[in-house]
Amino acid sequence: MSHPTLSFKVTRQAPELIAPAAPTPRELKHLSDIDDQEALRFQIPVIQFFRQSHLGQGRDPVGVIRKAIGKALVHYYPFAGRLKEIGSGRKLAVDCTGEGVMFIEADANVSVDEFGDVLQPPFPGLDELLFDVPGSGGILGCPLLLFQVTRLTCGGFIVAVRLNHTMADATGLVNFLTAVGEMARGQPDVSVRPVWRRELLNARDPPRVTCVHHEYDQEKGTIVPFENMMQRAFFFGPDEVAALRNLVPPHLTRCSTFELLVAVLWRTRTVSLKLDPAEDVRMMSIVNARRKFNPPLPKGYYGNVFAYPAALTSAGELSANPIGFALQLVRKAKNEVTEDYMKSVADLMVLNNRPHFRVVGSYIISDNTRAGFETVDFGWGKNAFGGVASGGVGAIPGFITFYIPAKNKKGEKGITIPVCLPAEAMDVFVKEMDGLLETGRLAGETPKKKTIPLITSAL
């Protein structure tokens, strides 16, 4: 597991801007009405660990990646621009100035192995591995991407990236990183041409909200005080998923692993926070809507294409009922996302002044296991870890949780889910989760055996 007390020194060079390697159009490109949500006006951190490889022998990862970024930006030139607001409606657009993305060269006196035998967030020293250059982290008038490439003592290296989320979702960012990797490996061109076409996800004319969107309900209730926060990572492999499936009724056992874990996390988190039983609670599982469109969106489209459909109930009902109750609500909400639903969200943004999704009583889970971060190759082979750098990101800690592909010590594939909660609530969460797993194992009539502790890391 990752060593919570690991300490190391990072030596950084002065930050620089990497501009496109060839001239690019100077133009103003509007974001879509799905991109242009208040809730997406934040920075998302991604990190990738690469071990030493004979494939990259004799090459400097900093120089290779720096040069490759410039080449990739010729194709993805809006990333080299700066965001601005147009008109009284705060409409976001990219001024394609060609100024470039921010880049930091760094060295650290630590090896990949010192981060633990299982690489997963929370990572020690993340603020040093992805340095927040003063003045660079704003939404308007700031670099839209920040790269930090850090050489390690073992010959491996870390590539950490910060993205202005209004510009792209996980799929879009992976498309760009894949292009950087292709340039780094000497390919003459990108394999997938980037497509802007943000008007495809704009509001209709005239805009009309045709679906129910509980995720944007007006605020009522009390925001849970986020003090004394603690983050821990939980691994769910084949054994844990099988145990949890034993807790749901027969007609729901064919649910996806994502749906099952969403339901379990939502219910367990609600119980641990000890909310007023009458308070509304929402689980918003992020749904990639790329396959919902007819005709399909272009393959190279790299804007945001997801929705937050909300499963809604009261804290008392959710806590008192078995897992199957939560699972039915989650599946119903997820299935509501259609092309019409996405258009309805875009219309709502325009009609209601681009509202933030509801914060009070809400919890968002995003599945990053299929985003493809782990496949990005800069010439050293696939990474040892690739994914979101923190379990919960955004303006409110603990509000958004990411599923991250992982392996346990036995090499079994599974999902790591970092959870961020106040310390007292975390204690309850752990006991509740362990209780559910034990009950599920007994329900499946499996022999009771000593298990590996569920908690795999802490910060």
Crossing angle of the two packed helices 423-443 and 257-273, in degrees rounded to 10: 130
The candidate with the shortest Cα–Cα distance to 165, out of 406, 388, 415, 399, is 388
The residue with tokens 């392996």 is 407
- Catalytic residue, from 75, 165, 213, 214: name it: 165
CA distance 101 to 18: 5
- Has 35 been annotated as catalytic? no
- Catalytic residue, from 217, 280, 367, 377: name it: 377
CA distance 303 to 173: 9
The candidate with the shortest Cα–Cα distance to 359, out of 394, 328, 324, 325, is 394
Per DSSP (E only), the strands in 237-303 are 280-285, 287-288
The candidate with the shortest Cα–Cα distance to 73, out of 40, 25, 38, is 25
Q: For the chain, what's the residue count? A: 459
The candidate with the shortest Cα–Cα distance to 456, out of 124, 228, 120, 113, is 120
Contact 417, 403 (CB under 8 A): yes
Give strand pairing partners of 235: 416
Q: Rounded to the nearest 5 degrees, what angle is found at the Cα of 400, between the Cα atoms of 398 and 405? A: 110
- Has 165 been annotated as catalytic? yes
H helix count then E strand count, the chain: 9, 19
Cis (ω within 30 of 0) for the bond into 122?
Answer: yes
Active site residues: 165, 377
